[in-house]
Chains A and B, each alone.
Chain A
Amino acid sequence: MILDDNRDSAARRTFSATARLLSALKLDGPLLVGLALLAVYALVVQYSASGQSLETILRTLMRIGIGAFAMIALAHSSPNFLRSLAPWLYGAGIVLLLVVDAIGYVGKGAQRWLDLGLIRFQPSEIMKLAVPMLAASFMHERRLPPDWRNLMVLAAIVILPAALVAMQPDLGTAVLIFATGALVVLMAGLQWQVIAGLACAGAGAAFVGWRFLHDYQRQRIRIFLDPQSDPLGSGYHIIQSQIAIGSGGLFGKGWMNGSQAQLDFLPERSTDFIFAVIGEEFGLLGLIVLMVLYLFIVSRAVFLASQSSGTFARLLGLSLALTFFVYVFINAGMVSGLLPVVGVPLPLISYGGTSVVTLLAGFGILMGLYSHRKLVNS
Chain B
Amino acid sequence: MRIKDQWNEQRIYSSRTFAALLVIGLLSLALLGKLAYLQIIRHDYYLELSQGNRVRQDPIPASRGLILDRRGRVLVDNEPAFQLELIPEQTPELPGTLQRLAALGLLDRDDIEPLKRIIRSRRGFDSVPVRLRLSDEEIGRFAVHRFEFQGVELRARQTRHYPFGELGVHALGYVAAVSEDDLDRIDKPGYAGTTLIGKLGVESAYEAQLHGLNGYQQILVNAQGRSVKFQGAYQPDLRAEAPVAGKDLVLALDLPTQQAAEEALGDRRGAVVALDPTNGDVLALVSHPGFDPSLFGRGLTRSEYSLLTGNEDKPLLNRALRGAYPSGSTIKPVMALAGLSYGIVDPERREFCNGAFHLPGSSHLYREGKGGKHGAVNLVDAVARSCDVYFYSLAAQLGVDRIAAFAAQFGIGALTGIDISGEKPGLLPTPQWKKQAFKRPQDQIWFPGETVNFGVGQGYLLVTPLQLAHMAATLAGRGQSFQPRVVMGERAAGGAIVRNAPVATRGATGISDENWALVLRGMIGATTYGTAAAISKDARYTIAGKTGTAQVYTVAQNARYNEKTVAERLRDHAWFIAFAPAEAPRIAICVLVENGGFGASAAAPIARRVLDAYLLAGPVAGAAAASPPAATRAPPP
- Contact surface of A with B, Cβ cutoff 8 Å: 141, 143-145, 186-189, 240, 242-250, 253-254, 257-260, 262-265, 279-280, 283-284, 287-288, 291, 295, 298-299, 302, 306, 311, 314, 318, 322, 325, 329, 332-333, 336-338
Contacts and interface: CB of A to CB of B under 8 A. Distances in A.
Nearest to A283: B39
B234 A250 contact: no
A249 B40 contact: yes
B46 A243 contact: yes
B47 interface: yes
Contact of B35 (A254, A264, A284): A284
Contacts of B230: 259, 262-263
B144 interface: no
B35 A265 contact: no
Contact of A260 (B15, B36, B53): B53
A329 B49 contact: no
B221 interface: yes
Interface in B133-162: none
A324 to B, nearest CB: 10
A336 B24 contact: no
Closest 4 CB pairs of A and B: A246-B46, A189-B12, A247-B50, A264-B223
A263 B16 CA distance: 46
Given A263-B230, A264-B223, A336-B35, A318 B50 contact: no
Contacts of A311: 4, 9
Contacts of B2: 141, 143
B533 to A, nearest CB: 79
Contact of B31 (A254, A259, A302, A338): A338
Contact of A318 (B13, B49, B220, B234): B13
A144 B232 CA distance: 57
Contact of A336 (B4, B38, B43, B51): B38
A246 B39 CA distance: 4
A306 to B, nearest CB: 6
Interface residues of B, number: 45
Contacts of B36: 284
B17 A306 contact: yes
Interface string B200-241: 000000000000000000001111100010101110000000
Interface string B106-138: 000000000000000000000000000000000
B34 A337 contact: yes
B517 to A, nearest CB: 79
B503 interface: no
B30 interface: yes
A262 B34 contact: no
A156 to B, nearest CB: 22
B359 interface: no
Contact of B4 (A143, A258, A302): A143
A246 B45 contact: yes
Contacts of B364: none
Contact of B54 (A250, A265, A287, A336): A265
A288 B14 CA distance: 28
A245 B53 contact: no
Contacts of B35: 245, 279, 284, 287, 336
Nearest to B43: A249
Contacts of A262: 230, 232
B42 interface: yes
B228 A247 contact: no
B38 A253 contact: no
Given A253-B234, A264-B224, A325 B24 contact: yes
Contacts of B5: 143-144
Contacts of A337: 34, 38
B498 interface: no
A12 to B, nearest CB: 33
A247 B46 contact: yes
Interface string B5-41: 1001100111111001100100110111011101110
A247 B35 CA distance: 11
B38 A291 contact: no
Contacts of A253: 232-234
A187 B8 contact: no
Nearest to A189: B12
Contacts of A246: 38-39, 42-43, 45-47, 49-50
A143 B233 CA distance: 60
A258 B16 CA distance: 41
A263 B46 contact: no
Nearest to B25: A295
Given A247-B51, A257-B233, 20 more contacts: A143-B2, A187-B16, A240-B53, A243-B50, A245-B35, A246-B42, A246-B46, A246-B50, A247-B46, A253-B234, A263-B221, A265-B223, A280-B50, A284-B36, A295-B28, A298-B24, A302-B21, A314-B13, A322-B24, A333-B31
A263 B54 contact: yes
Contact of A263 (B15, B17, B20, B223): B223
A256 to B, nearest CB: 8
Contacts of B46: 242-243, 245-247
Contacts of B39: 245-246, 248-250, 279, 283-284, 287
Nearest to B8: A144
B219 to A, nearest CB: 12
Contacts of B9: 144, 311
Contact of A244 (B12, B31, B50): B50
B20 A318 contact: yes
Contacts of A242: 38, 46
A210 to B, nearest CB: 26
A304 to B, nearest CB: 12
B16 A189 contact: yes
Nearest to A255: B233
Contacts of A187: 12-13, 16-17, 20
A372 to B, nearest CB: 18
10 contacts: A143-B4, A242-B46, A246-B39, A246-B50, A259-B53, A264-B222, A264-B223, A264-B224, A280-B50, A302-B21
A240 B224 CA distance: 14
Contacts of A336: 31, 34-35, 38
B49 A254 contact: no
B43 A247 contact: yes
A247 B36 CA distance: 12
A236 to B, nearest CB: 10
Nearest to A315: B13
Contacts of B8: 144
Nearest to B46: A246
A8 to B, nearest CB: 36
B31 A250 contact: no
Given A246-B39, A259-B234, A144 B12 contact: yes
B31 A318 contact: no
A332 B223 CA distance: 23
Nearest to A291: B28
Contacts of A332: 31
Interface string B180-205: 00000000000000000000000000
Contacts of A260: 50, 53
Contacts of A265: 50, 53-54, 222-223
Interface in B230-258: 230, 232-234
Interface string B540-555: 0000000000000000
A242 B13 CA distance: 38
Interface string B50-80: 1101100000000000000000000000000
Contacts of A145: 12
Nearest to B48: A247
Contacts of B30: 338
Contacts of B21: 299, 302
A178 B67 CA distance: 77
A245 B51 CA distance: 13
Contacts of B4: 143, 311
Given A189-B12, A245-B39, A311-B4, A259 B34 contact: no
A247 B30 CA distance: 20
